[in-house]
Structure 1
Amino acid sequence: MWRDPGQPADSYYQVRPECTDVPKSKFKIKAGKTLSSRKWQAAFTPEGYLDISKTLGRIYRGGIHPSIRGEVWEFLLSCYDPKSTFDERDQIRQRRRVQYARWKEECRQIFPVVGSGKFITAPVITEDGQPIQEPLVILETTQDGGPSQDGNSAEIGNSNASATNQSRTNTSCSEMVKQLTSHGPLDKKVTQWMLTLHQIGLDVHRTDRTLVFYEKQENLSKLWDILSVYAWIDTDVGYCQGMSDLCSPMIVLLEDEADAFCIRLLLNILVVHLYCIEVDDKRGNFRCTERSVGVETQLSNLAEITQVIDPKLHQHLDALGGGDYLFAFRMLMVLFRREFSFCDSLYLWEMMWALEYDPDLFSVYEEPELNGEKGEGSKGRAKSIRHYGKFERENMKNGAANSEGPLPMSVFLVASVLKDKSSKLLHEARGLDDVVKVSLVI
Structure 2
Amino acid sequence: MFFSSATEELDAYYPIRPECQADVPVTRFKARVGKTLSPRRWNAAFSQDGCVDFAGVLRRIQKGGIHPTIKGVVWEFLLGCYDPNSTNDERNEIRERRREQYAAWKAVCQKMVPAIGSGKLITTPLNSEDGEPAQDSSSDASEQNCNGAIPNENESLDPREAQWKLNLPQIGLDVVRTDRTLVFYEEEANRAKLWDVLSVYAWVDKDIGYVQGMNDICSPMVILLEHEADAFWCFERAMRRLRDNFKCTTSAMGVQSQLGTLSQVIKAVDPKLHQHLEDLDGGEYLFAIRMLMVVFRREFSFVDAMYLWEVMWAMEYNPHIFAQYEESSELTSASGNRNDGKVSSKQLKQYGKFERVNMKTGTQEQQGALAVFLVAGVLEKRNKRLLKEAQGMDDVVQILGEITGNLDAKKALKEALKVHKKYLSKAKKPQ
Taking the aligned partners of 2:328 and 2:362, their CA distance within structure 1 comes to: 30
Residue equivalent to 2:264: 304
Question: Are 2:31 and 1:8 equivalent residues in the alignment?
Answer: no
Residue equivalent to 1:55: 57
For residue 317 of structure 2, give the secondary structure of its aligned residue in structure 1: coil
* Residue 368 (structure 1) shift: 6.1
Match of 1:106 among 99, 108, 114: 108
* Residue 171 (structure 1) shift: 1.1
Residue equivalent to 1:87: 89
Residue equivalent to 1:257: 228
Match of 1:186 among 157, 168, 176: 157
The number of residues matched between the two structures is 383
* Residue 369 (structure 1) shift: 7.6
Taking the aligned partners of 1:312 and 1:26, their CA distance within structure 2 comes to: 32
Q: TM-score by structure 2 length?
A: 0.85
Residue equivalent to 1:166: none
* Residue 309 (structure 1) shift: 2.1
* Residue 426 (structure 1) shift: 2.3
Taking the aligned partners of 2:8 and 2:32, their CA distance within structure 1 comes to: 6
For residue 98 of structure 1, give the secondary structure of its aligned residue in structure 2: helix
* Alpha-carbon displacement from aligned partner over 1:387-416 (angstroms, at most 9, x marks no partner): 111211111111114xx4532111011000
Structure 1 segment 102-251 matched on structure 2, within 5 A? 102-134=104-136, 137-139=137-139, 142-143=141-142, 171=145, 173-174=147-148, 176-179=149-152, 181-183=153-155, 185-251=156-222
* Residue 329 (structure 1) shift: 0.2
Judge which range, 71-80 or 307-316, deviates more: 307-316
Mark the runs of 5 or more structure 1 residues left unpaired by the alignment: 145-169, 272-282, 371-381
Question: Are 2:358 and 1:395 equivalent residues in the alignment?
Answer: yes
Match of 1:347 among 299, 307, 322: 307
* Residue 8 (structure 1) shift: 3.0
1:6–1:31 contact (8 Å) kept in structure 2: no
* Residue 367 (structure 1) shift: 6.4
Taking the aligned partners of 1:369 and 1:323, their CA distance within structure 2 comes to: 38
Taking the aligned partners of 1:239 and 1:228, their CA distance within structure 2 comes to: 8
Taking the aligned partners of 1:15 and 1:311, their CA distance within structure 2 comes to: 43
Residue equivalent to 1:278: none
Residue equivalent to 1:408: 369
Cα 1:363/1:121, change in 2 over 3 Å:
same
Cα 1:367/1:199, change in 2 over 3 Å:
farther
Taking the aligned partners of 2:329 and 2:51, their CA distance within structure 1 comes to: 23
* Residue 6 (structure 1) shift: 4.5
Judge which range, 392-401 or 323-332, deviates more: 392-401
* Alpha-carbon displacement from aligned partner over 1:108-132 (angstroms, at most 9, x marks no partner): 0001111111111121101111111
Match of 1:364 among 324, 334, 338: 324
What amino acid is the match of 1:8? E
What amino acid is the match of 2:239? L
Mark the runs of 5 or more structure 2 residues left unpaired by the alignment: 331-343, 408-431
1:303–1:314 contact (8 Å) kept in structure 2: yes
Taking the aligned partners of 1:307 and 1:367, their CA distance within structure 2 comes to: 38
For residue 115 of structure 1, give the secondary structure of its aligned residue in structure 2: coil
Residue equivalent to 1:153: none
Taking the aligned partners of 2:329 and 2:370, their CA distance within structure 1 comes to: 32
1:78–1:361 contact (8 Å) kept in structure 2: yes
Taking the aligned partners of 2:237 and 2:291, their CA distance within structure 1 comes to: 20
Q: TM-score by structure 1 length?
A: 0.83
2:266–2:273 contact (8 Å) kept in structure 1: yes
Taking the aligned partners of 2:284 and 2:32, their CA distance within structure 1 comes to: 40
Taking the aligned partners of 2:118 and 2:55, their CA distance within structure 1 comes to: 42
1:6–1:30 contact (8 Å) kept in structure 2: no
2:124–2:139 contact (8 Å) kept in structure 1: no
2:45–2:52 contact (8 Å) kept in structure 1: yes
Taking the aligned partners of 2:129 and 2:325, their CA distance within structure 1 comes to: 34
Match of 1:71 among 70, 73, 77: 73
Taking the aligned partners of 1:122 and 1:215, their CA distance within structure 2 comes to: 20
1:320–1:432 contact (8 Å) kept in structure 2: yes
What amino acid is the match of 1:143? S
Taking the aligned partners of 1:258 and 1:47, their CA distance within structure 2 comes to: 25
Taking the aligned partners of 1:182 and 1:226, their CA distance within structure 2 comes to: 31
Question: Are 2:260 and 1:314 equivalent residues in the alignment?
Answer: no
Residue equivalent to 1:41: 43
Residue equivalent to 1:386: 349
For residue 349 of structure 2, give the secondary structure of its aligned residue in structure 1: helix
What amino acid is the match of 2:361? N
Cα 1:439/1:221, change in 2 over 3 Å:
same
What amino acid is the match of 1:232? W
1:7–1:30 contact (8 Å) kept in structure 2: no
Question: Are 2:388 and 1:424 equivalent residues in the alignment?
Answer: no
Taking the aligned partners of 1:210 and 1:87, their CA distance within structure 2 comes to: 39
Q: Aligned-residue CA RMSD in angstroms?
A: 1.9
Residue equivalent to 1:97: 99
Residue equivalent to 2:398: 437
Taking the aligned partners of 1:438 and 1:301, their CA distance within structure 2 comes to: 22
Taking the aligned partners of 1:122 and 1:430, their CA distance within structure 2 comes to: 43
Taking the aligned partners of 2:119 and 2:19, their CA distance within structure 1 comes to: 26
